[in-house]
Amino acid sequence: MQVITQVSELRQTMQALRCSGKSIGFVPTMGALHEGHLQLLRASVKDNDITVCSIFVNPTQFNNPDDYKLYPRTLEADIELLQTTGCDFIFSPSPEAIYPQHTMLQFSFGKLEQVMEGAMRPGHFNGVATIVGKFFNMVQPHKAYFGQKDLQQVAIVRQLIVGLGFDIELVCYPTVREADGLAMSSRNKRLNAEQRQTAVSLHEALELAKAQLKTQPVATIKTAVADYLNNKPEVELEYFEIADPLNLQPVETIAEGEVALCIAAFVGPVRLIDNLVVNLTEV
């Protein structure tokens, strides 16, 4: 496994591999790797000749400077973990290498970014689209792997690929959870022991909502979720939405097909998100 930090070296290496007929899988991450990331890496290693994992805490997608500053950075441990997956290249550039000059480029995703993460984190998806677009150009992968944990991000990347005509297959994998149900997240590392225990209440709230989908209207389910979390110490609900899993728009009445139950909440100082995609024939 080779660690690359320079854009020019990455481009040359990837171009040579592509020209020699190798298939390339790409897993973009911000590091502090856990099983959720490793699942994507193992899938890429299985599907492709070559796998590239980027580790880059992208400054332009953070709307909160503290969140950026305190985001866990564990490169040495990440490299060790990646060695167990069969990953071929780690791309871990500096912010200066990626952003040699201020970019004025602005993306607009319409309604898709006016809800949930887009509404709560102004500029977030502009930063995501910028970095994913840059990385797609630098790596030129055949397939790119993303987690359902960031469901709205998957929808944004899908639009980026279609909108800009990237010849890349988007592959999405389900959310990996801790034994108690908490969605794995690099930000979980910032929780203290009590907060870690309470954090599982986000998943519990989603399960509570899921159990009511067939019998209760949207407003009642929303109230039940808010009431449930209100009783939890250090938990502050930011939003809970029942949405269409593809376009993320709020669902007014629960009828048929699939819905996404999406939640964001602070646990202490740490903002966490989670979701469940539920097939209504299965509840």
Build a one-symbol-per-residue string for 164-193: x at contacts with ligand AMP by CB under 6 A, - elsewhere. Answer: ---------x-xx------xxxx-------
- 198 in contact with ligand AMP (CB under 6 A): no
- 136 in contact with ligand AMP (CB under 6 A): no
Nearer CB in complex with ligand AMP: 14/38: 38
- 30 in contact with ligand AMP (CB under 6 A): yes
Candidate segments 3-11, 32-40, 87-95, 188-196, binder of ligand AMP by CB under 6 A:
32-40
Nearer CB in complex with ligand AMP: 241/274: 274
- 40 in contact with ligand AMP (CB under 6 A): yes
- 141 in contact with ligand AMP (CB under 6 A): no
Whether 37 is catalytic is yes
- Which of 37, 124, 142, 203 does the annotation list as catalytic? 37
The DSSP code sequence of the chain is -EEE--HHHHHHHHHHHHHTT--EEEEEE-SS--HHHHHHHHHHHHH-SEEEEEE---GGG-SSHHHHHHS---HHHHHHHHHTTT--EEE---HHHH-SS--------GGGGSSHHHHHSTTHHHHHHHHHHHHHHHH--SEEEEEGGGHHHHHHHHHHHHHHT---EEEEEPPPB-TTSPBP-GGGGG--HHHHHHHHHHHHHHHHHHHHTTTS-HHHHHHHHHHHHHTSTTEEEEEEEEE-TTT-PBPSS--SSEEEEEEEEEETTEEEEEEEEEEGGG-
Chain positions contacting ligand AMP, by CB under 6 A: 29-30, 36-37, 40, 146-147, 149-150, 173, 175-176, 183-186
Q: Which residues are catalytic?
A: 37
